[in-house]
Structure 1
Amino acid sequence: MSVERLGSGQPDDAFSAALRSAISGSGLSLDRVQARLQSRGVSVSVTALSYWQSGKRQPERQSSISAVRSLEDILGLDPGALLGLLPPPRPRGVTGRRPRKRTSQRERTLRAALARFGEPDVGSQLALIGLHDRCVVDAHGGHRVTARALLRATTDGQVRWPLVYDHGHNTPLLSAQRNCRIGETEVHADAGFTVAELLFDRPVGKGDTQLVEYEIDQPQPDRAAHFREFRTTVHEYLVEIVHAGEPGSRSYWQYSTTRPGRRELTVDDAGAVHAVALDFGPGVFGIEWSDDLPS
């Protein structure tokens, strides 16, 4: 994720309010709801259900998203009635709920790290024109993202581009692929982010463009999602998701913080899905998915 960070929809309480209303209307206690989920092989604690309907927490992990799909059926709701109310994933890198406000300590750590990389001056001297992310998901759920970024210099002599990558507890491997190399890097594992810089092969003059390609390899992402968080407007952002692992039935959704709800996506003949954002930002845009693999 760049300083246009690699990753609001519904109101914060939309999901919890709908779930609370559906449970109340069903006449079932939380214990009975939990028992019916258990009979379907879905393990969710009564405490988790209570947190979900009170708004203290929201389903985040892939197993929880699958549980929500079962809840819709148990409570007599239309498919997607609850899932469609969940906000985008909170930014945690390539794996992109809604962004949560950082703690003051994490914010100070991030700002200090960016300052050492020359931000905001460096980032403002390069405009991100277009970005293409291709995320390949392996059989174990790991993500390998190939990113191609088209930049335009607004001043002469630009030689680097800073990146900020939110990755949660699992630090990924960053590698340069084309027209750049990896420069200085700072990993802040406790805070859950990495700051790095891509160094260009040669200086870029004012008005000229630079095409760079890099890869992010994350074996154990926190979420079944990929997104970007943009600070400023990007002309075109294209994101592709390809599952290279075990075949199965999956549901995919496009989401953003500029439009409420989510839009279901169709898998193409090559087994991939894509979404595109034009003249987008600031905000979060990405794709998330839910597995329904054969047992």
Structure 2
Amino acid sequence: MSSGITTFAAALRSAIEASGLSLDRIQARLQARGVSVSVTALSYWQSGKRQPERASSLSAVRVLEELLSIPAGALLGLLPPPRPRGSSSRRNLRTADQPLTFPREELQALLEQVGAPDALDLRHQLKLVGLHDQCDIAPDGGQRAVTARAVFQADADGQDRWLLVYAQGDPDAEPPSLEALRNCSVGRTAASEHGLLVAELLFERAINRGETHLIEYSLANTGPPYPECRNTHYREFRRPVREYLLEIRFDEANTPRKCWQYSRTGLAEDRRELQLDTAGGVHAVALDFGPGVFGIEWD
């Protein structure tokens, strides 16, 4: 933890104690001024577990200064610059034959650790036909877990595994816990210090040309605090996928005001607003998509 974070947390905690307000009352007063910050986030800020980084969070700190009757900039001036996201940013697109949002060399090193050094250059004999991601968001806005169901079709005989590549949005978080739920088991795994995970998912049986295979697995994070996901979840597709269904489930204590689906293929971008369902979730579907990035983000 840096000294900037410690100083900010101590100053915020002192100001809150001097105000005599509980975190619940502060959260309610922020909400009344059109600022949405969870009690959990406020608690993390004053304890030093997290620091405000997003533009919306920094705006909330400005309102906090006014609400707590302290000089403007007294808290903001104690915050260090936001941590660099580097090449893992989802806006740093690459060509279709490369990983889209992280360096090829970082992925290559992990592929060598799991015994698949030529995976990026070989013609793939296993086609991803359909994928369904269910992403669960915790009350603090971090990512609690992702459960995925994938359907593959073999273009050659003897296909018995799939290499999962997963990029953790929060480089400071531990790698998620990977669990095989259906029709597969976890083989060799490797993770980088920047939150990139590569793992073998071994099929229960090898499939031959034309056959399909369904697997299900989950990636669970520890918390609270849960890893930051920058209010987004997405998949990168280096090859076309017939159908991708993305579902985001929010905790009822912290549902977003607005959600959007977005896609990027080459230089083309598309973005459209989505509506929350009655259960506090949202979904989007991509058909015959890729190569590119497809995801959902929220405010």
TM-score by length of 1: 0.62
Q: Quickly say closer, same or farther: Cα 1:66–1:221, change in 2 above 3 A.
A: closer
Q: Quickly say closer, same or farther: Cα 1:161–1:208, change in 2 above 3 A.
A: same
* CA RMSD between the two structures: 3.0
* 1:106 Cα offset (Å): 4.8
For residue 132 of structure 2, what is the amino acid of its counterpart? H
Q: Secondary structure at the match of 2:152?
A: strand
Q: Indicate conservation of the 8 Å contact 1:161/1:197, yes or no.
A: yes
For residue 223 of structure 1, what is the amino acid of its counterpart? R
Indicate the residue corresponding to 1:165 in structure 2. 166
Indicate the residue corresponding to 1:98 in structure 2. 91
Structure 1, gaps ≥5 residues long? 1-39, 43-60, 70-88, 291-295
Indicate the residue corresponding to 2:105 in structure 1. 108
In 1, the alpha carbon distance for the partners of 2:134 and 2:149 equals 9
Matched, 1:223 2:230: yes
* Pairs aligned (count): 208
> What does 1:192-231 correspond to in 2, within 5 Å?
192-218=195-221, 219-231=226-238
* 1:65 Cα offset (Å): 4.5
Whose Rg is larger? 2
Q: Indicate conservation of the 8 Å contact 2:255/2:280, yes or no.
A: no
Indicate the residue corresponding to 1:286 in structure 2. 295
Structure 2, gaps ≥5 residues long? 1-32, 36-51, 61-84
Matched, 1:182 2:186: yes
Indicate the residue corresponding to 2:132 in structure 1. 132
Matched, 1:237 2:244: yes
Matched, 1:143 2:140: no
Indicate the residue corresponding to 1:10 in structure 2. none
In 1, the alpha carbon distance for the partners of 2:179 and 2:92 equals 26
For residue 124 of structure 2, what is the amino acid of its counterpart? S
Where relative contact order (Cα < 8 A, 6+ residues apart) is larger, the structure is: 1
In 2, the alpha carbon distance for the partners of 1:282 and 1:90 equals 22
In 1, the alpha carbon distance for the partners of 2:123 and 2:227 equals 29
Q: Indicate conservation of the 8 Å contact 1:172/1:217, yes or no.
A: yes
> What does 1:240-259 correspond to in 2, within 5 Å?
240-258=247-265, 259=268
Q: Indicate conservation of the 8 Å contact 2:131/2:243, yes or no.
A: yes
Matched, 1:268 2:277: yes
**Once the two structures are superposed, what CA deviation does each residue of 1:188-211 show, in whole Å capped at 9, x if it has no partner?**
11x431111100111111110000
**Percent identical residues:** 46
For residue 238 of structure 2, what is the amino acid of its counterpart? R
**Once the two structures are superposed, what CA deviation does each residue of 1:268-294 show, in whole Å capped at 9, x if it has no partner?**
12221110000000000000111xxxx
* 1:261 Cα offset (Å): 4.8
In 1, the alpha carbon distance for the partners of 2:232 and 2:136 equals 11
Q: Quickly say closer, same or farther: Cα 1:90–1:106, change in 2 above 3 A.
A: closer
